[in-house]
Amino acid sequence: MIRLSSARAHPAGYSPPIADIQFVLEHLVNLPGLSKLSSFGHADPETVQGVLGEFGRFVTEVLVPLDRIGDLAGSRFHPSTGQVTTPPGWCSAYGKYVEAGWGSVPFPAEHGGGGFPWLVAIAMQEMLTSANMAFALCPMLTQGAIDMLVHHGSPEQQERYLRKMVSGEWTATMNLTESQAGSDVGALTSKAVPAQDGSWQITGQKIFITYGEHDLTDNIVHLVLARVPGAPAGSKGISCFLVPKNVLNADGSSGERNAVRCLSLEHKLGIHASPTCVLDFDGAVGYLVGEANAGMRYMFTMMNNARLSVGLQGLAVGEASYQQAWRYATERLQGRPVGSPSGASGAIVDHADIRRTLLTMRSLNEAMRGLIYLNAYAIDLAHHADSQEERAENQELAEVLTPISKAWCTEVGAEVASLALQVHGGVGYIEETGIAQRSRDVRIASIYEGTNGIQAIDLVSRKLGLRGGQAIEALLCQLDSTDGQLAEAGQPLASIRSNLTKAVAELREATHWLVEQSRLDPSQTLAGATPYLRQCGIVIGGWVLARQALAAVAGAGNDERLAAKVTTARFYCEQLLPHAAALTPSVCGGAGVIFELTASQLASS
Ligand SMILES: Cc1cc2nc3c(=O)[nH]c(=O)nc-3n(C[C@H](O)[C@H](O)[C@H](O)COP(=O)(O)OP(=O)(O)OC[C@H]3O[C@@H](n4cnc5c(N)ncnc54)[C@H](O)[C@@H]3O)c2cc1C
């Protein structure tokens, strides 16, 4: 086995890309504009910069060092007690996270939150996830559950649970999946029967529950989907229940153990420190959230929030992978780059193929960041914009963008992590380098929170139909809207303009074909769903980079960082954006050839 030099063994040197994040907050989305809204008066850019800087320091000092430890040690299940212990250092790090109040930043002040825009929470989540994806999952799920209870919980539920969830004293989970009910949530069979005191008794087994049991806090709030007696079949008969791990005492403190226990932990490809639990509910005390049979609608509040956060995992791991690959490429000497003196080996960063790889990763990361932050910004405006009209427009935009953010960014994040491993050559395949962990960790993001296949179906069957196709048309018009500015910018951005124009025209054509087919024969639409979502992601990525290039050109002067943004956007639009058009035959190919072979003919022999 090759021994790695200590310098090369797992350089855990993630450094939060605050300047890049700040650039997007100011130039792509309008953070200064958000802070002028009555809800966000205190979230002025200077304050936000302070919060992000402090949080960046926190994740670097506290969570980056635990990332590899978590991967090696994993969370452990103790069958005799049903308890789960997190890796060494996890409890102390979580305690510091809670003490600083980091989890509370985006939530309403009346529940103990900081009242900042979701956009700021997303910027924080990016850094948290880059630093330590397995750790980040715990606050991520808790934030989704808080959002759900803020919107749908009763005043009493909010009073008893929200403050401690917002502070992070208690964490939360999302319990949908059962062995026969994965993508098809409507197939779940967990049951809820009413008890005499107004509560419910929940019985059933849930699988794959993230942070379903752990030792970080003295209580866990499970949000559980189950069926009440007489519920209609399928997803129309699902209700949502709040089931605490420990039933609360009258004074709100954690009391007796509820009848919910962890039966085992899954052994996974990655995110080893995140406990993925089989949970057994055996007549556990639960409280109905909202109305019976409306649980799916409520869960969508949580899932949409979580879907954006999962898309963000692609970006976050992509960013951490890129930083590590760049470092390695500048240190590793191998071969003689063209033009260097004979006999001397140079750093691999000077080989054209490595340059291309790095630029590919960098531009994809910037495209993902643009898309995700734009999505979060739309969510903020959907809730807080001054006019109803602006709220409705942004709600629609957020709904269209969410499946694209989730699926495209997780797919691209996995590609970027894989490219980073490739830059490392053979040592990339050796665990001590740490880059293999990035690929293992990020791979799940394409699967959970609705597989990427399900996101694509959501995009073509629900989102394309919004307002009779006008919602997607509004997005296409936005993609066209920068053309005038690009024309004005002239030569430096000419190739960006011409490639973007072509790509948007091609996307429009593919979109119209799908919208038409969805009226005639939905199976044609479903057959093209995944390539269409990818096409959307690539083109929107080109558009956000074009907008970044416009902002960078305006302020570039002698600023190397801004000049690099223009080059990065040019590379993407000249070399990656044209791939979008190549997807049109797959989008519009229809279901015919796909179903020509029977399932048994698909067998390999
Ligand atoms: C590490 C981990 C953590 C998780 N955390 C949680 C959690 O906290 N809470 C929770 O409730 N669940 C959780 N899950 C479950 C996760 O959300 C499911 O695994 C996911 O929704 C897919 O369901 P499935 O595994 O049953 O796959 P299936 O639904 O069996 O899908 C198999 C394949 O078929 C495709 N497919 C399925 N239906 C269709 C269709 N109608 N049309 C086209 N293609 C289709 C899918 O895209 C997929 O490629 C977690 C899973 C893992 C592995």
- Tell me: do 237 and 257 sit in the same domain: yes
- Tell me: do 149 and 288 sit in the same domain: no
Q: How far is the CA of 278 from the centre of ligand 1 (A)?
A: 15
Q: For residue 352, is it within any domain?
A: no
Q: How confident is the model at residue 345 (pLDDT cuts 50, 70, 90)?
A: confident
Per-residue model confidence (pLDDT) at position 7:
36
Per-residue model confidence (pLDDT) at position 394:
96
Residue 218 is given by DSSP the state S
C-beta of residue 562 within 8 angstroms of C-beta of residue 552: yes
Per-residue model confidence (pLDDT) at position 605:
67
Per-residue model confidence (pLDDT) at position 5:
38
- Tell me: do 61 and 152 sit in the same domain: yes
- Tell me: do 153 and 136 sit in the same domain: yes
Q: How confident is the model at residue 356 (pLDDT cuts 50, 70, 90)?
A: very high
**531, pLDDT greater than 90:** yes
Q: Counting beta carbons within 10 angstroms of the beta carbon of residue 559, is it exposed (0 to 12), middle (13 to 18) or buried (19 or more)?
A: exposed
For 101-132, how does the pLDDT look when each residue is reduced to its tens digit (9 = 90+)? 999 999 999 999 999 999 999 999 999 999 99
Q: For residue 66, is it within any domain?
A: yes
CATH number, domain containing residue 266: 2.40.110.20
**169, pLDDT greater than 80:** yes
Q: How far is the CA of 206 from the centre of ligand 1 (A)?
A: 13
CA–CA dist 522, 514 (Å, integer)? 9
Q: For residue 549, is it within any domain?
A: yes
Q: How confident is the model at residue 2 (pLDDT cuts 50, 70, 90)?
A: very low
What's the structural domain count of the chain? 3
Can you give the pTM of this predicted structure?
A: 0.96
Q: Which residue owns the Cα nearest ligand 1 atom 11?
A: 176
In this structure, the number of other CB atoms found within 10 A of the CB of residue 81 comes to 9
Domain end position, chosen among 292, 315, 342: 292
Q: Which residue owns the Cα nearest ligand 1 atom 12?
A: 177
Q: For residue 74, is it within any domain?
A: yes
- Tell me: do 66 and 177 sit in the same domain: no
| Domain carrying residue 566 | 457-593
Q: Which residue owns the Cα nearest ligand 1 atom 47?
A: 453
More confident residue, 77 or 304: 77
Note if 449 is an active site residue.
Answer: yes
- Tell me: do 483 and 571 sit in the same domain: yes
- Tell me: do 55 and 163 sit in the same domain: yes
Per-residue model confidence (pLDDT) at position 433:
94
Per-residue model confidence (pLDDT) at position 4:
36
C-beta of residue 319 within 8 angstroms of C-beta of residue 17: yes
Per-residue model confidence (pLDDT) at position 342:
80
Q: Please list, in sequence order, all residues whose beta carbon lies within 8 angstroms of the beta carbon of residue 582, skipping any fewer than 6 positions away.
A: none
Q: What average pLDDT score do residues 362-382 get?
A: 97
H or E stretch at 191: strand 191-194
Per-residue model confidence (pLDDT) at position 557:
62
**271, pLDDT greater than 60:** yes
Q: What average pLDDT score do residues 496-517 get?
A: 97
C-beta of residue 172 within 8 angstroms of C-beta of residue 141: yes
* 175 close to ligand 1 (CB < 6 Angstrom): yes
Q: What average pLDDT score do residues 192-200 get?
A: 97
H or E stretch at 220: strand 220-226
**Ligand 1 nearest-atom number relative to CA 451:** 47
Q: How confident is the model at residue 6 (pLDDT cuts 50, 70, 90)?
A: very low
Instruction: Please provide the average confidence, as pLDDT, over all residues in the chain.
Output: 94
**337, pLDDT greater than 90:** no
Domain end position, chosen among 167, 189, 213: 167
Q: Please list, in sequence order, all residues whose beta carbon lies within 8 angstroms of the beta carbon of residue 459, skipping any fewer than 6 positions away.
A: 400, 403, 404, 529, 532, 533, 536
CA–CA dist 195, 247 (Å, integer)? 15
- Tell me: do 163 and 181 sit in the same domain: no
For 434-457, how does the pLDDT look when each residue is reduced to its tens digit (9 = 90+)? 999 999 999 999 999 999 999 999
Q: For residue 541, is it within any domain?
A: yes
- Tell me: do 153 and 205 sit in the same domain: no
Q: How many CA atoms lie within 13 A of 148 on its CB side?
A: 33
Q: For residue 76, is it within any domain?
A: yes
- Tell me: do 42 and 127 sit in the same domain: yes
Q: How confident is the model at residue 463 (pLDDT cuts 50, 70, 90)?
A: very high
CA–CA dist 167, 189 (Å, integer)? 33
CATH number, domain containing residue 83: 1.10.540.10
The residue annotated as part of the active site, out of 126, 178, 449, 506, is: 449
- Tell me: do 471 and 561 sit in the same domain: yes
**478, pLDDT greater than 80:** yes
Q: For residue 306, is it within any domain?
A: no
Q: How far is the CA of 274 from the centre of ligand 1 (A)?
A: 17
Of the candidates 552, 549, 544, 299, the residue with the CA atom closest to the CA atom of residue 409: 544
**3, pLDDT greater than 70:** no
Domain end position, chosen among 242, 262, 292: 292
Q: For residue 557, is it within any domain?
A: yes
Residues above pLDDT 90, as percent of the chain: 91
- Tell me: do 577 and 508 sit in the same domain: yes
